[in-house]
Amino acid sequence: MLKKEDIKKHLQTVPLFKELSDEELQPIISISSSRIYNARSIIFMQEEPLDRVFFIHSGIVKIYKTDATGKEQIVSVLEDGEMFPHAGFFRQGTFPANAEVIKKAQLIVTPIIDFEKILIQHPELCIKLFRVLGGKIVDLQSRLEEKILHNTYEQVIMLLLRLSKSNGVKHENLYKITTHFTNRELANMIGTSRETVSRTLNQLRKKDLIELDAEGFYVIDPDKLKEEIIH
């Protein structure tokens, strides 16, 4: 369990809260608690009552949906500092997707009903939250455009570019994707088959557009990959 002081230190790094004073942050700290989830633990299931939001202190969390046949569609893979679900503050009802822990995680849990009272008292928080949600909407629009306007080969490239920013670190002009993704997981992110992703990744490696480092992480040069889409 995180102490209240540790919760405070973490929340101060979250974009939504980092500009708040200690006095403004204190009510949020007082209603929040921490919980540890082991790998493969289910945090919540789609259609369960939506009553809380989460901030990742450490670990990796997968957000995904399943259809009637059990087919999985990965919405996002979240790491330290991320919050989820973003829709939690502005809709009533149930969780819009499932959340599963990929790597052992320590999460800060905040009840929505209590947080909404704080939002009423601090309107500036609402504005910041709208900005965060606006970024998510732009990301979803971009994904829709990728699906409509680009073939599968290009969709895999654009997925790698997106993951390099959301789940990677930059070193000079290269990005290292620091989360291990299976070809099945990559396929589930763009709604294609594992075989198609595997074939595309092999093509990209033969062209020296991506490589694997000693730890098995993908390393890419975004500029070269973007040229592959253009041509």
| Minimum mean pLDDT range among 114-118, 139-143, 209-213 | 139-143
CATH of the structural domain 4-136, one choice from 2.40.50.180, 2.60.120.10, 2.60.120.460, 3.40.50.300: 2.60.120.10
Task: Tell me the C-alpha distance between 32 and 29, whole Å.
Answer: 5
Distances (CA, A) of 207 to 168, 181, 220: 21, 21, 12
Q: Among 52, 63, 49, which residue's Cα sits nearest to residue 93? A: 49
Q: Where in the chain is the domain with CATH 2.60.120.10?
A: 4-136
Residues 6+ apart with CB under 8 A from 147: 155, 190, 191
Residue 139: pLDDT over 70: yes
pLDDT at 148 over 80: no
Residues with Cβ within 8 Å of residue 84, at least 6 apart in sequence: 53, 54, 56, 61, 63, 76, 78, 99
pLDDT digits (tens, 9 = 90+) for 109-138: 999 889 888 888 878 777 877 777 777 777
pLDDT in tens, 76-105: 899 888 889 876 566 678 898 999 999 999
Structure tokens at 51: 């009553």
Using pLDDT thresholds of 50, 70 and 90, give the confidence band for residue 6. Answer: confident
| Per-residue tokens: 3 | 């102490």
Domain 152-228 is of which CATH architecture?
Orthogonal Bundle (1.10)
State residue 102's pLDDT score.
Answer: 92
Q: How many whole angstroms separate alpha carbon 146 and alpha carbon 90?
A: 27
As a whole number, the mean pLDDT across the chain is 85
Average pLDDT over residues 66-77: 84
| pLDDT for residue 99 | 95
| Ranges for all domains in the chain classified under CATH 1.10.10.10 | 152-228
CB 198 within 8 A of CB 152: no
Residue 108's pLDDT is what?
93
pLDDT of residue 35: 93
Query: How many C-beta neighbours within 10 Å does residue 211 have?
Result: 13
pLDDT of residue 118: 84
Exposed / middle / buried, residue 74 (Cβ in 10 Å: 0-12, 13-18, 19+): buried
CA distance readout (Å), 166 to 107, 179, 212: 19, 10, 18
User: pLDDT tens across 20-38, in order?
Assistant: 778 878 888 899 999 999 9
Within 13 A of 184's CA, how many CA atoms are on the CB side? 2
